Amino acid sequence: MPPELSEPHQVLSGNGARFTPDAITTAKRTSRPALSVIIPFYNGHRFFSETLQSLRNQTTQDFEVIVVNDGSTTKRSLDALAALRTAPSIRVLDCEHRGIAATRNAGALAARSDHIMFLDADDLLDRCAIEKLCWFSAIHPELAFVYSGVVHFGDSAGASFEEFDPDRLRRENFLTATCVMQRRIFLELGGNDPTLVDTWEDYEYWLRLVDRGYAGKLFAEPLFFYRRHRGGNSKALRRRAGNDGANLTPDLLARHARRRRRERPPLSNHNCVGEEHCSRPNLPDLFPSGRWRSEKANILYLMADLAGPIEHDDQRLLSGLRVLGCYVVLVICDPPAGNGSADLDPDPDEIYFLERMGNKDQQQAFLKYLMIAKAIDVVIYRNVQAARTLESDWVAYSTDVQFQDMAQCDPSSLEVFAGLVDRDQKRRNYQIEFNMRPILP
């Protein structure tokens, strides 16, 4: 590096406009978003606004939305699509009416990310769904897809957490099409079969996938909300198939057994930055302007677990932070019980279970990701080893973040919180030099 460019401030003096959070975010989302969310749309205006709002509420906005219009005809649906055509983060693709399989394929071909998610126009996502699943996919590059637990709502209610089992999958379809999958593999396998316009096109794809030796993995949290209603695609599919949905009928099983022995030609691979040309995993944006510009103090709270007598003090801590108007990112550091649901009052703005974020090195990398992506000003913890490790490492990146072990404070005193978060100017400047490639192979 030439001597005149050796200091960071000298580099920024000539190129500063390129390194603002807004500029970095815009460049990444345009060229290589963390995820392409593909919404097949055919006269699906009824719940569409709710689906889009669940995407706007995501804790990361590092994704693109591709709405594939499968030849919609109703005025309300066409009006809903017209309103989206000028939205900066949404693309609308118009196709002839060919069915959901062809519609999904068109969206996958148009995607700019190396990971895709299919989301029906009446379903919803938990606000942390994209961020958690994208990270989970990054630490499992050997997997074709990752998926979450499902919450069923509407005409029927319930929840399911189905571990991946290829032998069981060959007997019954227990997966949904909404997951984070590698776009490369979806295209390699030929995508969904467009001739299956009235039956189990997603199941036929899963059969081809497992027959090629690919696998998926459950992220055991309820992040996908599957709306059950009579007008939904799945209900209509089952009515046409003469099936109540409990199991596939024998004729459908025989049909798919014949089909999975026939290879589909790959779909064309374009419109995407190939992973071989990128030096780092495609993690969500590190510099979301919403957090970096926020006037709120951004707090990373590292809690040991959600049980035991210490929980009452943690509840008071969380309540005090919300009284002060802080943005609170809560990380539970000990292994979670069950599906990791939390009964907290008040709820934090975001909650993560560290055990689910990989091995010890990957967990530390995830905490560092949160520090930057959430523009953390203060880290609060209570006798948590992961926090002590983070504190000792973080001085290499910034000296502007304050770490506080609350075991040394009175959690009922709001003055303690005020002293932590009332700072004249939150600098949020980092020496970002670490590379996650050795941690995320």
DSSP character at residue 264? P
Query: Under CATH, which number does the domain 289-421 receive?
Result: 3.40.50.1000
Q: Which helix (H) or strand (E) holds 76?
A: helix 75-84
CA dihedral 334, 338, 340, 341 (to 10 degrees): -140
Asked whether the predicted pLDDT for residue 1 surpasses 60, the reply is no
Distances from the Cα of 379 to the Cα of 286, 290, 301, angstroms: 18, 19, 6
Q: Which CATH architecture has domain 32-277?
A: Alpha-Beta Complex (3.90)
Mean pLDDT, the chain, integer: 81
- Cα separation, 138 vs 114, in Å, equals 11
Asked whether the predicted pLDDT for residue 162 surpasses 60, the reply is yes
Average pLDDT over residues 245-265: 58
**Higher local confidence (pLDDT), 156 or 146:** 146
Structure tokens at 90: 């949404």
Asked whether the predicted pLDDT for residue 48 surpasses 80, the reply is yes
Average pLDDT over residues 270-284: 61
Would you list the domain boundaries of the chain?
32-277, 289-421
Average pLDDT over residues 326-337: 87
> Tens of pLDDT along 178-224?
999 999 999 999 999 998 876 688 999 999 999 999 999 999 999 99
At residue 324 the predicted structure's pLDDT band, cuts being 50, 70 and 90, is confident
> Tens of pLDDT along 130-147?
999 999 999 999 999 999
Asked whether the predicted pLDDT for residue 396 surpasses 60, the reply is yes
Residue 319 is predicted with a pLDDT of: 82
Residue 233 is predicted with a pLDDT of: 54
Asked whether the predicted pLDDT for residue 152 surpasses 90, the reply is yes
> Tens of pLDDT along 415-434?
556 555 554 444 555 444 44
**Residue keyed to tokens 């909650």:** 351
- Cα separation, 201 vs 188, in Å, equals 16
